[in-house]
Structure 1
Amino acid sequence: MELPRVVSRDEWRAERVALLEKEKEVTRARDAVNAARRGLPMVEVDTEYVFEGAGGKVGLPDLFEGRRQLIVYHFMWVKGTGQGCGSCSFLVDNVGDLRHLHACDTTLVLVSRAPYAEIERFKGRMGWGVPWYSSHGSDFNYDFHATNDEAVAPVEYNYMDKATLESKGLLFLAADDQDGHGASVFLRDGERVFHTYSTFGRGPETVLTTYNYLDLTPLGRQRYVNEFPYHDTYGEDAGTGCH
């Protein structure tokens, strides 16, 4: 990669000030998008989904842990490997102290369509403390478009139907019985639960703090998201396990 050119301090300052104006524009645009996101309407959802976690079988309202808001990260499981997706693992490595979210009446959990015993083993290997639930055997993944199977529901990923995905050369993202990644947000009002937001593709990238740090540097991100290995395999010739 070509390094930045060398200039005087005055020249650097002038260009930095010019960039600052662009940064402010991006910040204002991001604030407007965040406001529009908060203003989205919501849809009441069925609370009969059954998940399995460390404490056994639970329902969707239980995932809130008594709080009003719930963020579900749809963690892609790589079938037949006993491992979660490497890119999803990279994202979870970036999760900070959950007490800050909890103080804002918000719970973050992971959900995967895999047997809980496999999830528990992998979670222990990774050393994560984020609550993680199995949606194996329920329609949760299908209803929120984290898994596609035409026998269950019409194909959709990132708000694109099968024909659109095919025309864009992205049909591999919606292969039958294949899980994807994404995030969904829910709000609880008493006993009622509402779906307020879901994002897929690069949408969850906003929480990848490693990228945010690297974006400050001259060398930038250096690796695509699926090129980061499991954190316990650095130094090994190991892939991410994500295909």
Structure 2
Amino acid sequence: MTAHHIGTREDWLRARLDLLAAEKALTRQSDAVALQRQALPWVKVDKDYRFITEAGEVGLADLFAGRSQLLVYHFMFGPDFAAGCPSCSLIADGFNGIHVHLANHDVTLAAVSLASLDKLVAFKRRMGWSFPWASSATGDFNFDFSASFTEEQERQGKVDYNFQREPQVDWSSNGIVSGLAVQSGTTPSGYMRERPGMSAFIREDGAIYHTYSSYARGMDAIWSMYPWLDRAPKGRNEPTGPWWRLRDAYEVPAAGKAQSCCA
């Protein structure tokens, strides 16, 4: 017998109309926040950032691919990683379809990581992704945009992430971080020297400007999984931390146990 409240269809409709009012208020607030985000001052990018891509070495302007807007996902894939971060990979699983639509709306969506291009290309093939992915291994891009940190910064407690100084932490004692690090083929400390985030840029009158960056829980909106889970009966249902794996690393159901929509 379920412990959840059971009601009539009329009970459900009354509660749903109350929820609808709350959802509409949240949508209006989200619209207002989007306008506030777009009103941020632009900061001119003067440094000559260089990237290694499948087309060769390019500059930041080349990542725009002829469009006026660029959205960069800071994908956690450090030089010593054996695979991409499972969390970033889950997010990137949602890029394949939308990057084409964005490209036809004057927006280029690209991932950037500190790992070498050969690692990125191999992992991209493994995952079956088609969005552009560049290596920033030869420059300061990741560090300047708070997506990567050095061992010295970590050792001296000078990690500034999500617009604030972090306290020093022994990541090896954190079970969640250790589990994600194992999946990425690196150490907990090495894993946490890379961080997720996204940054937005615009080209106008021959100049490039940085317009926006977001990190940590500010990234929730681009986890395509979460809007669906938030509407599932049990919600996110993850009290013990990350439950996800790389898409090809989930256990295959035993023969005869697979669930089918047509069973």
Query: In structure 2, what residue type is equivalent to 1:231?
Result: R
2:225 is the alignment partner of 1:221: no
Q: Which structure 2 residues correspond to residues 19-30 of structure 1 after superposition, within 5 A?
A: 19-30=19-30
Q: Which structure 2 residues correspond to residues 168-207 of structure 1 after superposition, within 5 A?
A: 178-207=193-222
Partner of 2:131: 130
Partner of 1:158: 162
Q: Which structure 2 residues correspond to residues 1-243 of structure 1 after superposition, within 5 A?
A: 4-95=4-95, 96-149=97-150, 155-161=159-165, 165-166=166-167, 178-223=193-238, 226-235=242-251
Check conservation: 1:82, 1:122, Cα contact below 8 A: no
* CA deviation vs aligned residue, 1:108-152 (integer Å, no higher than 9, x gap): 000000111111111110000110000002100111011123757
Check conservation: 2:151, 2:193, Cα contact below 8 A: no
Looking at structure 1, the residues matched to 229 and 76 of structure 2 have their Cα atoms a distance apart, in angstroms, of 25
Aligned residues: 231
Check conservation: 1:63, 1:109, Cα contact below 8 A: yes
RMSD of aligned Cα (Å): 2.5
SS in 1 for 2:242: helix
Q: 1:145 to 1:94 in 2, by over 3 A?
A: same
* CA deviation vs aligned residue, 1:166-223 (integer Å, no higher than 9, x gap): 1xx76859x6881111000001113210000000001122022221112112111234
Check conservation: 2:79, 2:114, Cα contact below 8 A: no
* CA deviation vs aligned residue, 1:52-81 (integer Å, no higher than 9, x gap): 111111100000000000000000015534
SS in 1 for 2:40: coil
Percent of matched pairs sharing the same residue: 39
In the alignment, structure 1 segments of 5+ residues that lack a partner are 237-243
TM-score, structure 2 length as denominator?
Answer: 0.80
TM-score, structure 1 length as denominator?
Answer: 0.87
* CA deviation vs aligned residue, 1:85-112 (integer Å, no higher than 9, x gap): 0000000012233221112210000000
**Higher strand proportion, which one?**
1
Looking at structure 2, the residues matched to 58 and 137 of structure 1 have their Cα atoms a distance apart, in angstroms, of 11
* CA deviation vs aligned residue, 1:9-58 (integer Å, no higher than 9, x gap): 11111111011111111111111100100100010012511101111111
Looking at structure 2, the residues matched to 156 and 171 of structure 1 have their Cα atoms a distance apart, in angstroms, of 16
